[in-house]
Each structure stands twice: as structure tokens, then as C-alpha cells.
Amino acid sequence: MNEFNKTFKGAAGCIVTDRDIVSEAAQRAAQSCGAGRRVRKLRPAVCALLAAAMICGTGVSAVKYGWLNVVFGDSGNVILENPSDYSLEISGLETECRLPDGEISLNDVVCDGEAIYINLRLTGATEEDMQNYADFARIYPQLTTADGAFKSTVQLFSIGITDHGEDFVEMYASISSADGIDIGDKIDFKFYELSEAMYDPDEEYDFRIAFDVAEQPSDMTISLAPDREMTLVSGLFNRTMEINAESIIISPLTYQFTATILSSTGYSFDNIYEAMNQEAAVFVMKDGSRISGMDICDSYGGSLDGNDTYHIYAFFKRVFPVDDLAGIEIGGSYIEVTR
């Protein structure tokens, strides 16, 4: 135990109150009539469409959601020419809002086989309330197969929140899995005021969006296995490290990079993570243009397998045209895309 540890422990132990908080809370609890939060199960407008479709005898059991060009907010140009390629059919949509005056609806769902991207509309909360959920990761995503098995290496990213004043707040959130997204997968987003998913995952969330994937998403992924050694430089710490690039996955929505650290650097995960981010890929297009990962990637996340293998995940700020990609440059090493 170092000196900071001992000193801080002692210092924190000196922070005490003479107010009888427990008695106050007990009195309040005794006075409480135990009224629970009102739960409203909302039926989004889409269900009216479903009902209408069934009455008409079409036998439609799912509704296809379209793509909104504005989904990435102020990102500027949308490169993809056919955004409807990414729309996703869903079924079993459930929304549940426990905010006193709140309503929630699902505007849009997009999927590229690697990630699902949802766009929500929420009344009864402010942009700063929503930023709390994003900042402190109080969004509990669950991604399971049709059989209920949990999918692996699930990453959650909240990409944007837009305040529409008194009318509503719009929120974008994405989820990806190393297993990809398949028909029958169940998506469940719960948003918590207090993070209590550890022990009570079904309790005290503020609102919830859940649905099933009703069609097999198109696989638009480029998967590369370079198995190549290269040197990265960490701009922040100006250090070099030797890595073996294990795999690169590029889909219209995501960029994923897995590498094993070879040199004994003694760096913390944070240092290595920053190096892999800062040495972000340069995407070389078929027309010769080069797009820096620093410009187009957003919402980096990462994880560590064992002691040496790092996975970096990023979402693109706008849909990436994978068909036009010729290769990728990392750490000065060019890796050609082979199809």
C-alpha cells in the first residue's frame, strides 16, 4: 500500500456528519405511503399501423424502419447513396416510460450486420438529463440471441443527443457485438437514473426500448486478418510500441481493430488504448482519396483479452462506403482490402 493510499483512507475517514441521517430517513419512510412510480406502457404509432395491416389481411408481423439522413446530426455529407439498404425490420416493439410526464418512441432503427443504431424521441426529460445517461453510462443494453444466450463483447455507444426545446429530446444510441447482429436477436435498452443493474436488472429503470430483429441484416462487412507486425507511436506520450495486427473489421457503421502487444512496454491500458486511437487508421479509397480515422471515427471504446490483446471499437460519424474502400493504413503499414 503506498503512502497516498494510507493517507487518503485516513483523510476520508475523517469526513463525518453529526446529523442523524438514518433517523430522518426512517421517519420519511414511515410517512411514505409507498406509492410506486406510475408505469405507463406506451403503444407507439407503429402499432396502429400493424393493426391496420393485419386487418387488411396482409399478415404483416413486423414493420420496417427507414433511414433518416439526418440521423448523424451535424456530421455533414452522407456518403452512402442508398441509405435504405440499412433499414431494419423489427417486431415485438416494447416501450416503457416511468418518467412522470414522459413518453418515448422509437423513430428509426438501422443495422449493417455489425451494429444496430436506434433513434429515440423522448418527452419529459431535458437534454442535460439525457446527457447524464450518456456521461455516466447509465444505459444498460442487452443483446441476446433468440434462445436467450448473451452475445459476446457487446459495446454500447451513445452518439448524440439533440434538444428540441420544450417538445422533445432526440437521442441516438448504438450497440454492436463481436458476434454480429442476426435475425431473432433481442435488443433491450434500459435507461437508469441510478445504476442498479448489478443486482436488480429489472428494477428502477426510467425508460426502456426493446425489440426483436425480424430479418437477417445484410452483411456489409469487410473482415481482414493481416497478422502483421507493425510499430505504433503514441502521440501523447511519444512512445513506440510493437504490435501484431490481428484483425480489422470495417462495416458501414463500425471500425474494429484487434492487436496483440508484442513489446514489453510497461504501459497501462490507457496508454496503449490512446496509442491505438491516435494511430487511427487512414482509409484509402479506390479513387485515391484518403480519409483519416481521426476525422471520421467517433465513440471509441475498447476491451482487453488476457494480458496482451486489445480490441478497439469505433462508430463512424457518417455511413462509410465500404464498397469503395481499397485499403487501410495503420502505423505506416498499408493493408489492402481483399474481397
Site string for other proteins, 304-333 (x = CB under 8 A): x-----------------------------
**Looking at beta carbons only, is 192 or 320 nearer to other proteins?**
192
Among 96, 179, 182, 193, binds other proteins (CB under 8 A): 193
Residue 26 interacting with other proteins (CB under 8 A): yes
Compute the distance between CA of residue 307 and CA of residue 129 in angstroms, rounded to an integer: 37
For 304, the grid coordinates are 482487453
Indicate the burial class of 123 (C-beta count within 10 angstroms; 0-12, 13-18, 19 or more).
middle
50-69 residues in contact with other proteins (CB under 8 A) are none
Q: Among 152, 47, 32, 147, which residue's Cα sits nearest to residue 94?
A: 47
Cα dihedral 199→204→209→212 (10° resolution): 40
Q: Quickly list DSSP for 280-321.
A: --EEEETTS-EEEHHHHEEEEEEEEETTTEEEEEEEESS---
**Looking at beta carbons only, is 3 or 74 nearer to other proteins?**
3
Q: Which stretch binds other proteins (CB under 8 A): 52-60, 69-77, 105-113, 196-204?
A: 196-204
Residue 39 interacting with other proteins (CB under 8 A): no
Among 5, 77, 82, 264, binds other proteins (CB under 8 A): 5
DSSP strands (E only) in 214-285: 222-224, 228-234, 239-250, 254-261, 282-285
Compute the distance between CA of residue 227 and CA of residue 229 in angstroms, rounded to an integer: 7
Site string for other proteins, 118-157 (x = CB under 8 A): ----------x---x--xxxx-x-----------------
- For residue 136, the cross-strand partners are none
Residue 29 interacting with other proteins (CB under 8 A): yes
Q: Total number of residues binding other proteins (CB under 8 A)?
A: 51
Residue 166 interacting with other proteins (CB under 8 A): no
Provide the binding-site residues for other proteins, judged by CB under 8 A.
2-5, 7-17, 19, 21-22, 24-26, 28-29, 32, 34, 128, 132, 135-138, 140, 192-200, 203, 268-271, 273, 301-304
